Amino acid sequence: MERENIAVGLDIGTTKIVAMIGKKNEYGKLEILGVGKSKSLGVARGVVNNITQTIQSIQEAIAEAESDSGYKIKDVVVGIAGQHIRSIQHSDYISRNNPEEVISEHDIDVLINQVQKLAMLPGEEIIHVLPQEFKIDGQSEIKEPIGMYGGRLESSFHVVVGQASSIRNVGRCIKSSGLDLSGLTLEPLASADAVLSQEEKEAGVALIDIGGGTTDLAIFKDGIIRHTAVVPFGGNVITEDIKEGCSIIEKQAELLKVKFGSAWPGENKDNEIVSIPGLRGRDPKEISLKNLSKIIHARVVEIIEQVYTEIKAYGHEDPRKKLIAGIVLTGGGSQLKHIKQLVEYITGMDTRIGYPNEHLAGNSSEEISSPLYATAVGLVMNSVRNNTVSAVPQDNYIPEPVLIQKPVIVEQEVIRQETEKVLEEVKADSRSTEKTIRKSFFDKYIDKIKDFLDNAE
């Protein structure tokens, strides 16, 4: 029976960890088989800062996804984000030995490998080398060089760089959770896969993924990734400000933000007030919704302006770099009321909220189609493209052999007698060539010894 291409994505966020299992259905859409979610402990601003707690949270999410789907997870594609991510533009070329041969996949691999060897700052590591346009013997703006003739193959690259120690810590958490790492993907790229259409990428679009600890940006133009950035602020700083400004606990601040929060202060009337129960018998607190949205507004403006600075750094005011499709907002923070209007007001660009249903099968639950799950859906899509068999049905699952801790104490004399007995039997059985004797002798010897040890009490 052919093994199914089951893909698993693991989104290690600052507020939540999501494990998602999916596969492609017959229409080429993504069918989600199971989702597991746990509160993320041990991650701050997209970076692991407590290994033990992160491992616990990962195992919790994995266990939930497994019981939800009936599959056993073996390996995962993980999203990488955090304030240490930066991207650089770089051009490189190779001179081909035989210009009479057409350019193949191999030539592009050679060029990419050459860029992988770029000297980085101490402690940094290259995560992605993404080719943009190619140039062959001076002819520029070539998108697909394979199959063309030429001696000098040149390309501009978008190189994504991160802190080596942060990447290793993520790897360590995965290994310690009993999983293998089948791939690392930059989170804004995963979110972009999930929520953007090909037309938007062609026309020019900025994807802003507002998470708990970080806000990720990915800019596309002419179908090619042009700029990526990670801003080290997200929804959590809004909650923190509400907590400080209203003198309430974090849990209440988060609830206030989600239920009554708005990014546009003019929305609320002065007399709209919410009453919050006091702690341990204290009087309830009354908070005006107008004040609440003023606090939220101030912080959201700050986040959007930071991201807008990055969009300007890409150079969107240049007519050739114009982002015709404007901005797409996704991630948990994009669910804040009136945030779309505020972003349009600050940037003057068309804005829409991005839901990851672009590539999902029609029968997907509403919850999975929420912007909260954009990164996780993108990571599963990435894993599907790699043709991984990341999970197997639990009834087919054969656990790895585990060393039993209980020592089996057997008399040496008994072992010697048993071994001699086995040798005698094997010799008597073998009437074939010496090679077969050796093989069958070894197999039978191992089997008999295994049986003997199994039965030894």
pLDDT averaged over 10-residue windows placed end to end, the chain, 457 residues:
80 95 91 94 91 96 94 94 89 92 93 93 93 92 92 94 94 94 93 95 96 94 93 94 92 93 81 86 88 94 96 91 96 95 96 92 86 96 89 74 48 63 62 47 56 56
Distance between CA atoms of residues 227 and 160, nearest Å: 9
Other CB atoms within a 10 A radius of the CB of residue 166 amount to: 21
CA angle 386/391/394 to nearest 5° reads 165
pLDDT value at residue 278: 83
pLDDT value at residue 423: 64
**Cα distances (Å, whole numbers) of residue 211 to 85, 123, 192, 336, 395:** 15, 26, 14, 12, 37
pLDDT value at residue 352: 96
pLDDT value at residue 27: 87
pLDDT value at residue 346: 95
pLDDT value at residue 407: 46
Q: Is 79 helix (H, G, I), strand (E, B) or coil?
A: strand
pLDDT value at residue 405: 46
pLDDT value at residue 402: 47
pLDDT value at residue 269: 73
Distance between CA atoms of residues 8 and 384, nearest Å: 8
- pTM assigned to the model: 0.83
Task: Provide the strand spans (E) within 55-213.
Answer: 71-73, 75-80, 86-95, 124-136, 139-142, 152-163, 180-186, 205-210
Place of tokens 């600052």: 14
Two tokens at 446? Answer: 């191992």
Distance between CA atoms of residues 371 and 335, nearest Å: 8
